[in-house]
Chains A and B, each alone.
Chain A
Amino acid sequence: MALEVRGLRVALPDGRVLIDGIDLSVGEGEVVVLLGGSGAGKSTFARVLFERDELEHAGFEIVAAQLDLDREQLGLVPQRGALFDHLDVRGNLELALRHGGGDVAEAPQWLERVGLEAALAEPGTSVTKLSGGQAQRVAVARVLASRRKLLFLDEPSVGLDPHRVRVLARLIRDQVKALGISAIVVTHDVALAAGVADRLFLLSLEDRKLDQLFADRWPGALEDPGHTPEERGRWLVELETAMVDHLQAFGDQPPPRGAVPVRPWWTGLARLAAPGLAPFRVAALCAWKAPQQLVKYPRDFAIVAQRVLLQTLVRPLIFYAIVSTLIGYTVLFVISKVGGAGVRPDALLRQIGGAHVVALAPALSALLYVAASGSATNAWLGSMGLTKQTLALDALGVDRRAYLWAPAWLAAAVSYLLVAALFALGMIAGGLLVCRAYHVPHAWELLTGDLFDPRPERLRYTVRALFLVWIYGWGIASDVVAKGGAAKPEADAVTRGMTASVVACTLWVVAWELVTVVVVFRL
């Protein structure tokens, strides 16, 4: 058996039961279709298979008398394909091949296998240029290339016209036969269901169980040879009628309320603390996994890191340059004026030297970095979760923490270090303008003295600044990855994650500013 589930029960944290004791077995070479209305638990069933740990962390109660599943053999075609948009078409396939033990040179053949032109495998073919049907087929090709034995196709026909639905159905049937694999198709689409199903099941809104439809008379997948159009038409009508009748009767019935799961007090506490602890977890994981990923998959590492560097450093570069120069100029200009009449501005500038850069650059650059660059990466990671790309990664056997988080974490941290340096340089540039206005000699040496050759009493501040830049770098990166990589059940979760990250990172910066100031002045 490819999958054996007995007595699976899933309840929401508030006790409502989404799935109540379903049994399902999927044999090798078999295609099983799960039909159901909205809220029937189709997606929840998929998440049980792919994200059980995350569901349980989220407070779901998942109980199963038996759940035999080889996770390593389970592949997923998410809704709308969930192609990795940081990779081109070929990159999507190569990633699956690399992690599935295949030869990356076979990418064009896998495209042809699903009826696409091999030319799409040309480097640089963006996944955003594909039509819905093409994207869906690329997604199928990608999961097939990963050599998974059990495919889970989640609403694969969403957005496809009837012709393409049938093409997709035939494709699924052909590949299942050709590769000797099994498939579970979750769909609303009766045409697709009828076209591919060896067996049909309905996730009942009445009792939240799994009911097999037409168990004793279903003729098998209607897209297989041997079925006439009339037969296909009759079954489509019958299947649709069964669906509509069920939805008319029970479509508005809320999930039954069961007993609220009783959990130890500390699990609630742990759940509350989880968002706060997530950045620390990410820091440790990424520090551990980044070197391994860099060694094992340098190309994957470079691709993700390059994307993050683009988001966090290259695109906002002009922003940092302008803001830092403006701040550097303004701070020194204000300082040059504090003496009032009779006080030589150049004497004040000599007194301050580059101290303002050492004191302000870490915090200001960090806060701006969080708001601009951190949010960009946060949004990118969040969108990957929202569009199920991360789920697709999991389904390819790609560890998202190693593939996505670790390079993103390291790149974001390194990017911040560069931004901090750029910010300091910008502040110095602004200071040079002020010094020039007051004819301060050797202004470059004056403004960089505290950075490159601080006087003994100022060395501690320079050390503090370097420490802050260091800890802000990986701290912000950890929080951005943690918040961006958290589950994104809806679009608003992405913006919530960005806001939460800005707040958390600001607290991180403020806390370290205060702690280090206390340490420096108390010692």
Chain B
Amino acid sequence: MRAAAAGIAIVAVHAIGFVAASQHSAGHELVVEVTSPLASPALTLQGTVPAGIRSRVVDTVDGRGPGLRRERWRVAYRGGYAREVGASQLVGPFQDQACSGRVIVGQAMLDQVAVAMRTIMDQQMRGEAVFGIGAYQKIEAFELEWAQFAFHPLDAGLLGAGAPHGYVRATARIVFDRVIVPLTLVAIPEATDHQLHFCVKAHAAVEVGNRALQWLNSHVDVTSRLATRIANHEIDAMLVTALAPPPPFELDRDQTLTFTFCKDPVEISNRAYGALPFAVQLGTAPLGILPPHIAASHARPVAPKSLAIELDVDALNALLFELWRTGWLDKRLAEVGLDRRFNSDPTVTEFLTVRLSPLRLALPPVISPAGDHLELAADARVNLSDGGVTTVGRVFGSLQLRFAGMRAKTTFGALELVCERTATTLVPCYADLVEALAGRGPQFDGALTEAFTALTSSIFVDRSVGVGDLPGTLVIHGVVPSLAPGATTLHLDLDATLMR
């Protein structure tokens, strides 16, 4: 009997031992304590992992410069499984209304403007009569061109102090009853703090066969009167309007995306283009969050057919920041309804217990150059409901933007999810599920491409812009994106027409 009792005691000890062993066999879960701020002028991401697992953790940070940086703590297990916790930080230096975009007006667009300007000038000259040369008849051979002084040394008298960055040069022949007056007009761009204007100067050389009339004309300064009439401020206004930054983009009620002048000089290429720098007007976000300033060298603009906009990564990030700051992106995400699509997916409803809330972007998405493409990264929050328990999840995702041919191609980059045990304690969650979803990423590439195309189209395409005093409207029919070498600048070639 004693032996039986001892045997039962052995079994009891085993049972107790198993309970104890089970309590201590949860393994060393990957738990990372992250107290770093969401945004910082310099990378300050730091996490603490439990000592028991520290030797197995591989800690990586994807870059250290400005941008949306992510630190990952990863433990790999046999069989190809891994558990990973990542945390994002928006790392500065941050932008301060930098000149990050350029409107590039090609010679073709200038030719369209010339037609409109000729009409205006013609109207202004009607009824004009000059003693000795007769009444105004018409304007002939009116041309506008982007010019550099080196190509027009005879303009030295008009340019005066010079136009180191180039100027707009207009030439015409004004036909009077007795003479034809050749007119040369230069419009030199001058930037002030928040404005661009053109200093317009004209020279009209009247040549008549009658020496008495020639003498008389020189004394009453017919040339000056003509030049003054033609070079009035309206030409300045017309040019300024034609070369203005993109008009405000209305996001939602009382919310607009605004582009402003900035002080960088206008770049002009002789008979090719004129590039006007502009900036994205930044609003104020909480926690000192601003778009990162990713130092990017400005490449020479690509001459457009008619009109183009170039946005470097800072401009893109400024745009995204504004779209995020105003809540526009969250609303679009809600409209896209990733959560609804997930929650109502037949596979999900049949097999999964977890449900998602709409995504909320915790930080502005950030675009950064990545070799031959751009990479868009975003850090969002989502509520995960599972069996009556709701957990805050941190979703990190990235897209790769490639531009070839007539359109952009968007491909799925990464999808990561970590859960907040507390606001600062991050743990892996639904790792296998996320891995499976990430594995399906390529299936979403087509939809992502469509979404990106729709986004750029909604901003630019079919926009009609009144062009100051010009008798017409600038209508954008389409946009062709491309990426400048180095992937630092997005070039949007706009199919634009100045409609009368």
Interface on A for B, CB 8 Å cutoff?
270, 277-285, 287, 347, 350-351, 353-354, 441-442, 445-450, 452-460, 463-464, 467, 471, 475, 478, 515-516, 519-520, 523
Contacts and interface: CB of A to CB of B under 8 A. Distances in A.
A519 B14 contact: no
Given A284-B4, A446-B80, A459 B26 contact: yes
A482 to B, nearest CB: 10
Interface of B: 1, 3-11, 14-15, 18-19, 21-23, 25-30, 77-81, 83, 432, 436, 439
A280 B21 contact: no
A285 B432 contact: no
B18 A516 contact: yes
- If over half of B's interface residues share one DSSP class (helix, strand or loop), that class is named, otherwise mixed; here it is helix
A460 B7 contact: no
B10 A287 contact: yes
Given A353-B81, A455-B83, A459-B27, A281 B22 contact: no
21 contacts: A270-B1, A277-B1, A278-B4, A280-B6, A284-B6, A347-B436, A351-B436, A354-B79, A442-B80, A446-B80, A449-B77, A454-B27, A456-B27, A460-B22, A467-B18, A471-B14, A478-B7, A516-B22, A519-B18, A520-B22, A523-B23
A295 B78 CA distance: 41
Contacts of A454: 27, 77
A284 B10 contact: yes
Contacts of B8: 277, 280
Contacts of B9: 284
Contact of B4 (A281, A347, A463): A281
Contacts of A456: 26-30, 83
A412 to B, nearest CB: 16
B18 A445 contact: no
B78 A519 contact: no
B27 to A, nearest CB: 3
A297 B1 CA distance: 27
Contact of B21 (A283, A446, A452, A467): A467
A445 B11 contact: no
B416 to A, nearest CB: 17
B429 to A, nearest CB: 10
Contacts of B79: 353-354, 442, 445-450, 453
**Which 9 pairs show the lowest CB-CB distances between chains A and B?**
A449-B79, A280-B7, A456-B27, A453-B78, A284-B6, A459-B27, A277-B4, A449-B78, A463-B25
B25 A459 contact: yes
B6 A464 contact: no
Contact of B7 (A283, A446, A457): A283
A432 B472 CA distance: 73
Contact of B22 (A278, A441, A453, A519): A519
Interface centre among A280, A351, A520 (most CB of B within 10 A): A280
Contacts of A447: 79
B354 to A, nearest CB: 15
Given A515-B18, A519-B19, 15 more contacts: A277-B7, A445-B79, A449-B79, A453-B78, A454-B27, A454-B77, A455-B27, A458-B27, A459-B25, A460-B27, A464-B18, A467-B14, A478-B7, A515-B15, A516-B18
Nearest to A456: B27
Contacts of B10: 280, 283-284, 287
A281 B80 contact: no
B7 A523 contact: no
A268 B4 CA distance: 17
Contacts of B23: 523
A314 to B, nearest CB: 29
Contact of B26 (A280, A350, A445, A460): A460
A454 B28 CA distance: 11
A347 B443 CA distance: 15
A193 to B, nearest CB: 42
Contacts of B439: 347
A467 B25 CA distance: 12
Contacts of B22: 460, 463-464, 516, 519-520, 523
Contact of B27 (A270, A353, A354, A457): A457
Given A281-B4, A284-B4, A449 B21 contact: no
B97 to A, nearest CB: 49
B7 A279 contact: yes
A510 B313 CA distance: 64
Interface centre among B6, B26, B78 (most CB of A within 10 A): B78
A523 B23 CA distance: 7
B4 A280 contact: yes
A455 B4 contact: no
A163 B19 CA distance: 69
Contact of B3 (A285, A442, A463): A285
Nearest to A520: B22
A277 B9 CA distance: 12
Nearest to B347: A343
B345 to A, nearest CB: 13
A398 B330 CA distance: 85
Contacts of B30: 456
A270 B4 CA distance: 11
Contacts of A450: 79
Contacts of A350: 80
Contacts of A520: 22
Contacts of B29: 456-457
Contact of B81 (A449, A459, A460): A449
A264 to B, nearest CB: 14
B432 A351 contact: yes
Nearest to A342: B347
A458 B27 CA distance: 8
Given A281-B3, A284-B6, A445 B80 contact: yes
Contacts of B83: 455-456
Contacts of A351: 432, 436
Contacts of A448: 78-79
Given A449-B77, A449-B81, A284 B15 contact: no
A402 to B, nearest CB: 13
Nearest to A282: B7
A47 B5 CA distance: 27
Given A282-B7, A284-B7, A455 B81 contact: yes
Interface centre among B11, B28, B432 (most CB of A within 10 A): B11
Nearest to B436: A347
A6 B23 CA distance: 63
A475 B10 CA distance: 11
A73 B439 CA distance: 80
B7 A452 contact: no
Nearest to A464: B22
Contact of A455 (B15, B25, B77): B77
Contacts of A277: 1, 4, 7-8
A445 B78 contact: yes
Contacts of A515: 15, 18
A253 B83 CA distance: 83
B75 to A, nearest CB: 8
A523 B18 CA distance: 12
A240 B22 CA distance: 74
A517 to B, nearest CB: 11
Contacts of B78: 445, 448-449, 452-453
Contacts of A287: 10
Contacts of B19: 519, 523
B204 to A, nearest CB: 78
A467 B27 CA distance: 16
Contacts of B1: 270, 277
A418 B83 CA distance: 32
Nearest to A348: B436
A270 B1 CA distance: 9
B331 to A, nearest CB: 33
Contacts of A278: 4
Contacts of A452: 78
Contacts of B77: 449, 453-455
Nearest to A523: B22
A448 B81 CA distance: 12
